[in-house]
Amino acid sequence: MCLLLVSLVACGGRPDAQTLRADVQRVLDRRAEALLDRDERALAETGARAGYDNLRAVPLDGWSYRVKDVRRSGDTVTADTELRYRVRSVDRAPVTTARTLRLSRDADGRWSVDRDRPAKKSAQQLWDQGAVRVVHGTHSLVLGVGQSRETLDRFAGLADRAVPAVSDAWPTEWSRQVVVLVPGSLEGMAGLLGSPASSYRGIAAVTTGETGDRASAPADRIVVNPDAYGTLGAVGRQVVLTHETTHVATRAHTTPATPLWLSEGYADWVGYRGTDRTPRQAAPELAAAVTGGRLPAKLPEDGDFGFDGDAHALARAYESGWMACRMIADRWGEERLGAFYRAVGGHGKRAGAVEDALRRVLGTSPQAFTAAWRDYLRSEFG
């Protein structure tokens, strides 16, 4: 009698978690298919539009959910999922992000989606912030929220000039395409990065992506802070986009072995390459320090590049890395600078990476290189 009762409850009562999870997965599979097919009728049958209008313009090649957990309360289900999507022509692999969906059951027992939001502690996607406008450039895809077509066209022009400039300095194979995200505000940028807005105040743009094998990673995103970017002049705007594009190009050779003074300094070196900016103009904080008798004793450490510290110290860290890379290009040549970057990244681990590359590529030691860099600062700023 007890076994029979258990069986009847399992078959005719509330479905168990496994059955419920399978039911939710089927709804989300149909929803993903409808979204990719732009089938609004089929989408409506799976629930609310839930952001569909916001991402309508985004060119998608893939969209799928994997249900990881479900929690039911009466006729409502909360589903923890993994969303995987690809943007057409730019993503070689899916972007993966955690989403929390709420579904409700109607009188006929059918589940449908009421809400689709970023999971707790997960970053927003651009369409979570509003309707996405898309501009296709020659070498770029620009997606924006709360921005005019003219503004996004200007970003596409900057990116399209940045790509060949980077390729000229960095001839190693890379995609030669960039994706630029332009939210409506600093807060929007912070939402896309999953961090407090205070971390990026005054930062014009950052690049997100995965280091190492690019074949198994989605395309990098250059995320713009429109508040800080709007304060820059024409040269500054181009330098920033070229700097961030350099991070995209060098991603496969940027590993845990690469110190930030090298990755950020090299990106700045490419950014300023071809401009008429002198060291004093491009590195005012470092110039003031050296002129004031505060010559740095060593190259900056990774911790000196934190966005939430002293803005003047952060500027000096970036400028110090740039001057180190500029010195290498001046004394050993641009090709040797690129070879040095790749040699450091190819070391695999941080310990010994710079020392080994200095010896093998530049024929010097860390002590001699630091002394030469300090002399270089004196000669440029003294």
- Catalogue all structural domains in the chain, each as residue range(s) with its CATH number: 11-122 (3.10.450.50), 123-247 (3.30.2010.30), 254-382 (no CATH)
Q: Could you tell me which residues come within 8 angstroms of residue 136 by beta carbon, excluding any fewer than 6 positions away?
A: 142, 156
Residue-wise pLDDT for 94-137, tens only, equals 999 999 999 999 988 999 999 999 999 999 999 999 999 999 99
Q: Could you tell me which residues come within 8 angstroms of residue 297 by beta carbon, excluding any fewer than 6 positions away?
A: 374
Alpha carbon distance 345, 267 (integer Å): 14
Give the long-range contacts of residues 62-67, CB within 8 A, separation 24 or more: 62/36, 62/86, 62/91, 62/94, 63/32, 63/35, 63/36, 64/29, 64/32, 64/94, 65/25, 65/28, 65/29, 65/31, 65/32, 65/99, 65/101, 66/25, 67/21, 67/24, 67/25, 67/28
Residue-wise pLDDT for 23-33, tens only, equals 999 999 999 99
Please measure the distance between the N-terminal and C-terminal CA atoms of the chain and give it in whole angstroms. Answer: 94
Higher pLDDT, 341 or 4: 341
- Confidence (pTM): 0.92
pLDDT of residue 214: 58
Q: How sure is the predictor about 206, in pLDDT bands with cuts at 50, 70 and 90? A: very high
Mean pLDDT computed over every residue of the chain: 93
pLDDT of residue 361: 98
Are 124 and 248 in contact by the 8 Å Cβ rule? The answer is no
The pLDDT of residue 7 is above 70: no
Alpha carbon distance 70, 61 (integer Å): 27
Residue 28 identity (one-letter amino acid): L
